[in-house]
Amino acid sequence: DTEVTQTPKHLVMGMTNKKSLKCEQHMGHRAMYWYKQKAKKPPELMFVYSYEKLSINESVPSRFSPECPNSSLLNLHLHALQPEDSALYLCASSPTGVGEETQYFGPGTRLLVL
Amino acid sequence: SQKIEQNSEALNIQEGKTATLTCNYTNYSPAYLQWYRQDPGRGPVFLLLIRENEKEKRKERLKVTFDTTLKQSLFHITASQPADSATYLCALDEAGGFKTIFGAGTRLFVKA
């Protein structure tokens, strides 16, 4: 299984809502990533988990809260978002997160904040 | 600051021709460079990785070159097909491989 799955595919939320994005992989990878991508822009790294520990936080606002419950799952908890947070949120995984590795991406969650 | 540049203009070519996409970078000394394909509303899909000591790498109709002196990679698709229409992203790693930086991508349209 070389697939990274993400749910939901689409999400519309108000600025006062709390929601969560979910990501799952069963490739035995120990590094998982969250990226944010705006239209016609490159994916921008938000968080990296390595062996279930947060290793990189790219100065992301606290309204985004990542969680890695186990080596297969990655969540992104959303609270009090702003309209400018509307984007495609991509999850990815790689074997260890170190060195010459390819990342496997999920299909993304299209988020719209009203 | 570190920067990756890809042609922001879309590339339109006729089916059967060779598409050539460019990736230039500054202020990096990457040990390797990767190319990904991204379709609209989907996540990137890995295509090829080329190391700094490799001049060229091929995979089926794809070819990548890597010139560390020019700080440039070229990505070629030979005998292009309409199904090759997508955005192609180049990516470099920094911080010892902990962090991947993507270029903005070049949109390729292949006309039948």
Nearest CA to A33 out of A19, A45, A43 is that of A45
Burial class of residue B83, CB neighbours in 10 A (0-12, 13-18, 19+): exposed
**How does the average pLDDT of chain A come out, rounded?**
94
Q: Looking at the complex, does the CB of residue B44 fall below 8 Å from at least one CB of chain A? A: yes
Residue range B22-46: mean pLDDT, rounded: 92
Query: How far does the CA of residue A79 sit from the closest CA of chain B (Å)?
Result: 23
Amino acid identity for residue B17 in this structure: K
pLDDT band at B2 (very low <50, low <70, confident <90, very high): low
**How does the average pLDDT of chain B come out, rounded?**
92
Cis-peptide, bond into residue A43, ω within 30° of zero: no
Is B43 close to A55, i.e. CB distance below 8 A? no
Query: How far does the CA of residue B103 sit from the closest CA of chain A (Å)?
Result: 6
CA-based nearest residue in chain A for residue B4: A42
Burial class of residue B13, CB neighbours in 10 A (0-12, 13-18, 19+): middle
Strand (E) positions, chain B? 3-6, 11-14, 19-26, 32-38, 45-51, 56-59, 62-67, 72-77, 86-94, 99-102, 106-111
Q: What is the pLDDT of residues A57-112, one digit of tens each?
A: 888 999 999 999 999 999 999 999 999 999 999 999 999 888 788 899 999 999 99
Query: How far does the CA of residue B98 sit from the closest CA of chain A (Å)?
Result: 5
Q: Looking at the complex, does the CB of residue B3 fall below 8 Å from at least one CB of chain A? A: no
Nearest CA to A49 out of A67, A26, A62, A76 is that of A67
Residues of B in contact with A48 (CB under 8 A): 98-99
